[in-house]
Amino acid sequence: KETVIVQRRCLRAARAIEAGEVLSREMIDVLRPATPGAIMPQEIDRVLGLKAAKSIEKGQELRWTMLED
């Protein structure tokens, strides 16, 4: 019997993002695994146009606490 493990995806930084930068689609990857509290892919439209509240490393999952209007 096979066991299938479902891994959800989340939004991650496609490159290093500096504090104050406005997020664009090119800055965001949709990758596995999704860690608890990470922003899900279906929310990408809400993320675009927001600013990074702090510096975000390449590959780091995006969280609402990292973003501001």
Name which of 55, 61, 1 is nearest 32 in CA terms. 61
pLDDT level of residue 3 (50, 70, 90 thresholds): low
Distance CA 4, CA 29 (A): 24
pLDDT level of residue 37 (50, 70, 90 thresholds): very high
Instruction: Give the pLDDT score at 55.
Output: 98
Q: What's the residue count for the chain?
A: 69
Convert the pLDDT of each residue in 38-58 to its tens digit.
Answer: 999 999 999 999 999 999 999
- Are residues 58 and 13 in contact, defined by beta-carbon separation less than 8 angstroms? yes
Instruction: Give the pLDDT score at 7.
Output: 81
What's the Cα-to-Cα distance from 33 to each of 11, 12, 68, rounded to whole Å? Answer: 10, 10, 24
Half-sphere exposure (Cβ direction) of 53: Cα atoms closer than 13 Å? 9
Rounded to an integer, the average pLDDT of 59-68 is: 98
pTM of the model: 0.89
